[in-house]
A and B are shown apart, each in its own frame.
Chain A
């Protein structure tokens, strides 16, 4: 299957982004604005990856297509591991002190885990995505950019309403405190940006227009508990356009 060429009538001037669910808001924004974007969402590409010894592997077909692609590649691979670890409150509440912003308020009801231990947990949740990013980097002929995942939204009540809790009977139905989610997002970005620096990939911070003074996502850009909306996607598209 050709993911890159056959369905792209304007292949010569399109931008390519590849990743997981965070691709969706950017793809919708491209549709709204008419931006020539080829958005590859692994969720929509059965067979594009396969299990490997050290994590998922890109299929031979996709690898070949990426190898032949000459333009810049924008990665939105992964970007949800911090949500897996901390969107919900663990039955044994935990928190950690963010090394770069140690004075952020802590959850007073939580036990404090070593920041490095939390980082190691997060790294293990990100490992499969980093494996994919590494392969894309190796295949990428042109520049590669990685788009930071959207910042967390502070209002847990609003987020709570967006989760279909009925699908998850018997599990904790509490959204974690905002500052805890913010810390995990920062840590996630820290890990990702360090990987980018080592791999020669440009790490693209989230659009400054989308965040408030405390680093949380502004309401106009809220999508659901884990994603941003099309307005946020438009801001990212603008970033991509300026970088390409």
Chain B
């Protein structure tokens, strides 16, 4: 007898690749068609799991290509609060393929949403980054200046990157009925107001996700033809669904759609699928927190250790040591020097008894 399953690799057979194995011994990663080498310009984006990817890359010495870095005067906590250093630019979480495509088109001026700014509580909010600025923008002018700067950073990141790591998170998103603009968070959740006659729920299909990412790849490659893409699917389940079904069913369907879309896209040249979703799910509850949703740190580490083993080149460049900003010390020194000179000019005894001004000389 002869059949196609005879002589297949061990990794193709469940009994050998999965059964009885410890979670840390399960390695479903396929050979990548390209690798990330020291100096490779890596840009990350995606759902909240993508934050883990970016953080571990940094800790591993593979700093992301940061085109909107925090100013060195900002403390680390302040920088993080304002969305610096989390991704390559301050775009925040990008949960859907539609949101990613829209970001590129907004940054290049190809799409200008009608619903472009929200006002409330004396501040202005970016509908497409509603949490990027704690408390919102303090003025309309600040909002426009910041967004102009941000779009330039997005254009540079996508236009000059070598490898784009995108973590697909959701299929559900809320959209403006007028022009199809999609929001990362439903209006009214973090800012803005939900209006049923203005906002509509979208639940992207496989074809739509594929079409979005094909369009994104085509448009970015028009100016950055060598861009390669690594797709992952977030193993983090949906927090909630607006569809009228159990959240587990909605989450399963969403992940299935994203997984199939990623599979189809990985057949395109220069696109590679990394199985973060499978690595976490193969471990059952082992990598999940009590909420059955959050990924525990050792689960993230396992995903990233396989990523580093297979996708990173042998020698990652060491992280550049943080450059100490001594500007404030310089500024203090100059001010202190001027203060010294004020002191030198001070009278010997500043208390004078004879007040000579009219009406005060008692």
Contact = CB atoms under 8 A, between A and B. Distances in A.
Interface of A: 7-10, 13-14, 20-21, 24-25, 27-28, 30-31, 33-39, 41, 43-44, 80, 83-88, 90-92, 94, 96-97, 99, 102-103, 106, 111-117, 120-121, 124-125, 162-164, 167-168, 171-172, 223-227, 241
Given A8-B351, A14-B351, A33-B356, A112 B142 contact: yes
Interface residues of B, number: 48
Nearest to A16: B351
Nearest to A234: B357
9 nearest A-B pairs in the assembled complex, by CB-CB distance? A99-B138, A102-B139, A27-B350, A21-B339, A97-B142, A102-B141, A34-B356, A24-B342, A39-B350
20 contacts: A20-B339, A21-B338, A21-B343, A31-B347, A31-B350, A31-B352, A33-B356, A39-B351, A44-B343, A83-B334, A88-B331, A90-B71, A92-B72, A97-B141, A112-B146, A112-B149, A121-B73, A172-B330, A226-B339, A227-B339
A96 B73 CA distance: 13
B149 A91 contact: no
Interface in B310-354: 327-328, 330-335, 337-339, 341-343, 345-347, 349-354
Nearest to A163: B334
Given A83-B331, A85-B331, A24 B343 contact: yes
Central interface residue in B145, B351, B360, by most chain A CB within 10 Å: B351
A168 B330 contact: yes
A90 B329 CA distance: 12
A8 B82 CA distance: 51
A85 B73 CA distance: 9
A41 to B, nearest CB: 7
Given A9-B353, A114-B82, A172-B327, 18 more contacts: A24-B343, A25-B342, A30-B352, A31-B347, A34-B353, A35-B355, A35-B357, A36-B352, A80-B339, A84-B332, A87-B334, A94-B71, A102-B142, A106-B145, A115-B139, A117-B74, A168-B333, A223-B342
A28 B345 CA distance: 8
B266 interface: no
Contacts of B10: none
Contacts of B133: 114, 116
* Secondary structure of the B contact surface, majority rule: loop
Contacts of B347: 27-28, 31
Contacts of B135: 116
A51 B319 CA distance: 36
A85 B72 CA distance: 12
Contact of B342 (A21, A96, A114, A124): A21
B289 interface: no
A116 B339 contact: no
Contact of A90 (B146, B327, B343, B355): B327
B256 interface: no
Contacts of A125: 328
Contact of B145 (A27, A84, A112, A124): A112
